[in-house]
Chains A and B, each alone.
Chain A
């Protein structure tokens, strides 16, 4: 679809809304039709603004730093390393002490509290995928570590976890695929700054049966530049974003990832909170003829890089599902043990107890499949099949767990007094969302 056609589609829908609005009449807004159409395509969208930081472009032709693959002992092993256990424990504590108590407020506000984001920066989340040579925290590939971190944070709250991890995803993408100049230009803002840059990966587009390998956002070459057009949805931290990694179909080539500074002309954002993960402040992104220099292309436009990014993002969502799924299990167990009906705890009934068993065993399967895929990524092995399997499990069993978390609380589960209604909404994100994060 051409830009003009798409604008028309969006414009007409927005016009319909305008036509029903009193505001139009009250303000006496009477504009030439084409002007209204033009403005209407950007209904609610606005430029990011000047508040964000400026990235100082480095052009030194320096060599990129890459993390080596892990070397396995060859043994089947489910024991995290000592470092991973320490991280797991501290993120788990952060999740229960800081994220869980703030989750409802953030969900309602559709925004993560500033102090939480600041604390996340202090935890060094953006350093977990970045080599120590570039100021990061790791010396070999660390998808398993990222999975364990995401799981622990999502046990606190999935929406806040997404808000905290979105910049980390961009930092990891730069570490994995950025060239030396891209790393030097952007990574300091993630690993040196007091508050890491606000950033996320924008792959999702707003249509049914969205397939990240059949993008409608396009990039075309114009002399040495790329010109970017399209619409992205469910982009975390959209309104405050400073740096975006945008997926687009490069004409005559295929899907690629482009580094887009949010201050670029033609980058417009709009808050668009959804059913869940609302604390991540998801938004829509409208790209109108955004002109990017050749150095914006990530990973040389290699199709394998793009496929890996899609898989790593899916796996990050799987890790979140495991964490939130565990939160459901931990919450329903005391509830069904304490809730009395017909003279005894409802957990004395098989229909209730077996649901708890099913949650536990499906959750464990999700978790093992997710860890297997992550460990394969770290070892430099192909993980296409393993990621697909983990996503299938985490999407379907995850949503099932969310649903039964509410079911086991009955009517109590439907009201905001208990967190299970939020987990129901959050867990549906897994299987819907593409991109946004990365492990």
Chain B
């Protein structure tokens, strides 16, 4: 039966996450925006708390609990599961602070990859570790199939030897592990790309620099050089076989599952902007009337309504994608729609809210200007706006990546 309200059983979780956002994240938001690269030690206690809540806690970070697809319980009954609860938690936490969410210990994207594709032995071995994700290279961003970092098996030692350069590694300095994407054979293309778990302490994994960024400055962004970096072959995630038929499926599967989570981040940030703007507009004497036609209200009220509508569309698309994942429905199309809509909406709304709020929006006293800077990353990482539109278009039009470039 069609119902698009937040499931009742997740209301306590949403409340908890909101409390964390309000009482832990917001008070230190500005501090770590100003002190880029300082470690937000306040999060250690929070992370310990989350660890203690049990392994499957829904109050995770960027989907670190993993977003394994469930095959259902054999019945036709509809489920609201971990994909939805994780998204709901993320929305609340990013209402607090996106950069701090990304900095949550042991809740990195690498954890998500491990949880999603690791075998049981690996799951056990990497349990409790904080894992970052290293995909992007200076010459390969959106085109992740073009990565140049190589992995060569040393038969004698049973180790893979990694060589290359990785950039934009979120929490790369702080994490215990880095999941590195590398190719077993550059001539084969996508099918040869595998992910390898590298201990942060590995001498072959050399920190090159930490980036200075427009926003999400609480989250450190590392660049690494992999210089004859040796990892045990047991650290390869998934199958070592180069199966050209399955192509990219293994590694891209992580993305199908994490795009709705990043969309959730954008939704949370958008709501933060709207709530603050609504308060400031009310103080300025503007209130939205939902029954009166927008054109008959003040321009600010009409603009607010338009922004709120886009927010709601982004939010519902995000929930739809998560709901499909929970119910084993293929959701690659909806995941990209959610990411594209939420990404563009959060940037658009944040920038318009800054304008509507004038110097209160643009100044450093409140957080609106920071949110507007934070927002932009959400239309970039986990696939830019343009990449999402490509994925959507290729599916709708039945095009290969060779036809629709």
Binding site for B on A (CB under 8 A): 70, 72-81, 84, 144, 209-213, 307, 310-311, 329, 333, 336-337, 345, 347-348, 350, 353-354, 356-358, 360-362, 364-366, 368-369, 371-372, 374-376, 379, 384-390, 392-393, 396
Cα distance A76–B312 when bound, in Å?
15
CB pair B290–A384 under 8 Å, yes or no, is: yes
> B397 contacts which chain A residues (CB < 8 A)?
333, 336-337, 347, 353, 356
CB pair B398–A337 under 8 Å, yes or no, is: yes
Given contacts A72-B3, A368-B313, contact A79 B294 (CB under 8 A): no
> B396 contacts which chain A residues (CB < 8 A)?
329, 333, 356-357, 360
- Using an 8 Å CB-CB cutoff, how does the interface string of B179-211 with A read, 1 for contact, 0 for none? 000000000000000000000000000000000
* Minimal beta-carbon separation of B304 from chain A (angstroms): 10
* Minimal beta-carbon separation of A392 from chain B (angstroms): 4
Q: Is B49 an interface residue (CB 8 A)?
A: no
CB pair B9–A353 under 8 Å, yes or no, is: no
CB pair A388–B393 under 8 Å, yes or no, is: no
> A84 contacts which chain B residues (CB < 8 A)?
2
Given contacts A364-B320, A384-B290, contact A358 B389 (CB under 8 A): yes
Partner of A389 from the list B79, B293, B312 (CB cut-off 8 Å) is B312
> B79 contacts which chain A residues (CB < 8 A)?
75
Q: Is B284 an interface residue (CB 8 A)?
A: no
Given contacts A211-B296, A347-B399, A357-B396, contact A307 B5 (CB under 8 A): no
Q: Is B78 an interface residue (CB 8 A)?
A: yes
CB pair B2–A353 under 8 Å, yes or no, is: no
Stretch at the interface among B153-161, B212-220, B334-342: B334-342
Q: Is B6 an interface residue (CB 8 A)?
A: yes
CB pair B309–A76 under 8 Å, yes or no, is: no
> A79 contacts which chain B residues (CB < 8 A)?
1-2, 78
Q: Is B52 an interface residue (CB 8 A)?
A: no
* Minimal beta-carbon separation of A178 from chain B (angstroms): 23
* Minimal beta-carbon separation of A103 from chain B (angstroms): 24
Given contacts A211-B292, A365-B316, contact A75 B78 (CB under 8 A): yes
Partner of A307 from the list B291, B305, B403 (CB cut-off 8 Å) is B291
Cα distance A84–B3 when bound, in Å?
14
Cα distance A81–B1 when bound, in Å?
5
Within 8 A of A (CB), among B274-330: 290-296, 305-306, 308-310, 312-314, 316-317, 319-320, 323
CB pair B312–A77 under 8 Å, yes or no, is: no
> A80 contacts which chain B residues (CB < 8 A)?
1-2
Partner of B3 from the list A73, A211, A358, A365 (CB cut-off 8 Å) is A73
Partner of A364 from the list B9, B308, B337, B399 (CB cut-off 8 Å) is B337
* Minimal beta-carbon separation of A87 from chain B (angstroms): 13
Q: Is B8 an interface residue (CB 8 A)?
A: yes
> A353 contacts which chain B residues (CB < 8 A)?
389-390, 393-394, 397, 399, 404
Cα distance A256–B291 when bound, in Å?
15
Given contacts A353-B390, A357-B392, contact A371 B334 (CB under 8 A): no
Q: Besides the contacts A72-B1, A353-B394, A376-B5, what 14 more A-B pairs have beta carbons closer than 8 Å?
A: A76-B7, A81-B1, A311-B291, A336-B397, A347-B399, A353-B390, A353-B399, A354-B390, A365-B341, A384-B290, A389-B309, A392-B305, A393-B310, A396-B306
Q: Is B80 an interface residue (CB 8 A)?
A: yes
> A389 contacts which chain B residues (CB < 8 A)?
305, 308-309, 312
CB pair B393–A356 under 8 Å, yes or no, is: yes
CB pair A348–B399 under 8 Å, yes or no, is: yes
A-B residue pairs, 9 tightest by C-beta? A365-B313, A353-B393, A368-B316, A372-B4, A392-B309, A388-B290, A357-B392, A74-B8, A361-B337
CB pair B305–A388 under 8 Å, yes or no, is: yes
> A333 contacts which chain B residues (CB < 8 A)?
396-397
CB pair B1–A73 under 8 Å, yes or no, is: yes
Could you name 23 residue pairs across A and B whose Cβ atoms are closer than 8 Å? A72-B1, A73-B78, A74-B3, A211-B292, A211-B293, A329-B396, A333-B396, A347-B404, A348-B403, A350-B393, A354-B390, A360-B337, A361-B341, A365-B310, A368-B313, A372-B312, A375-B2, A375-B3, A384-B290, A385-B290, A389-B305, A389-B308, A389-B312
